Amino acid sequence: MIRRTHVHDSAIEETRPVVSSEQRRRQLAREKYERQQTARAEAASKAKRRNAVLGAALAVVVLAGGGAWAGGAFKSDSKKTDTANAAPNQAATPNPVAVKGCTAPSPGQPNGKQWKTEPAMAVDATAKYNVTMNTSCGAVTLQLDPSKAPHTVNSFVFLAGQNYFDHTKCHRLTTSSIYVLQCGDPTGTGSGTPGYSFTDENLTGATYPAGTVAMANSGANTNGSQFFLVYKDTQLPPSYTPFGKITGGLDVLNNIAAGGVQGGTGDGAPNADVVLNSVTATKG
């Protein structure tokens, strides 16, 4: 007959190896170290994924801002030392090349006027304002809508009336992903301002199809004198105040774009020497 042997639980416990307090301390320390290493690896992996997403987003914004575009898609840069967001420096780029349809700019230099504060509101919010830009590559006409962007239109009309835009160079052209020509800086570097800034407007649901006129900026509520002309449907975040539309001369802009960018990149000074010989604004 086979008999079962009953073993008390204490007997089982007695057969387990005895762990000293020092061994237990080392084991706990090792387990803690392993947990820390695992947590660090997980954190690094999350950071890598997060940076990849942010990098992709910033690539769009940068192109918008300038080399940031940087912004970005398309941003003005009020800090000359911020090379990451700064627009191309005209002095550092090669001389423009001949582009069919473009001629030598008319004689003259930007007047470089400066003001400490935004001009007083003077536009009629119920009217439209027509703008004629006579450029060295042909005429471009705009219609501005102060009912949607009163401060922006008021500033633009004021600056045009002060001949602020006359003889200024359109300093940036983008021909990849974002399709705009940026103008309005008397310094031609992307860092020029009229001395004042004003608030963003008309951003809710803002889109940038071909024919849009919008403000460049260096961040929220930093609008000044720089603006961009969209010659082909462009995807941008709603961060740039749309304030009008191109009513004529889209072929002029496309011709400038076809001329390409200096250095062969998709973002920089245009090969065409695009200068605003004169800019006038009248109430429609």
pLDDT of residue 46: 55
Determine if residue 127 is left, alpha or beta; phi over 0 gives left, psi from -120 to 50 gives alpha, anything else beta: beta
Are 48 and 174 contained in the same domain? no
Do 48 and 118 lie in one domain? The reply is no
Helix and strand element counts for the chain (H, E): 4, 10
Report pTM. Answer: 0.72
Whole-angstrom distance, CA of residue 76 vs CA of residue 69? 9
pLDDT of residue 253: 98
Question: In terms of Cα–Cα distance, which of 99, 151, 144 is closest to 279?
Answer: 144
Both 240 and 153 in one domain: the answer is yes
What is the count of structural domains for the chain?
Answer: 2
In a domain, 4, yes or no: no
* Residues 38 and 149 occupy one common structural domain: no
CA–CA dist 111, 186 (Å, integer):
8
The CATH number of residue 194's host domain is 2.40.100.10
Can you tell me whether residue 261 is helix, strand or coil?
Answer: strand
Q: Does residue 144 sit within a domain?
A: yes
Q: Please tell me whether residues 101 and 48 are part of one structural domain.
A: no
Domain contains 256: yes
Range of the domain at 33: 20-63
Residue with tokens 């975040």: 237
Is position 130 within any domain?
yes
Tokens of 243: 């304030």
pLDDT of residue 75: 62
pLDDT along the chain (284 residues), means of 10: 37 46 74 75 55 35 36 49 33 64 96 97 98 98 98 98 98 96 96 97 98 97 98 98 98 97 94 97 96
Half-sphere exposure of residue 235, counting CA atoms within 13 Å on the CB side?
5
140: Cα within 13 Å, side-chain hemisphere: 30
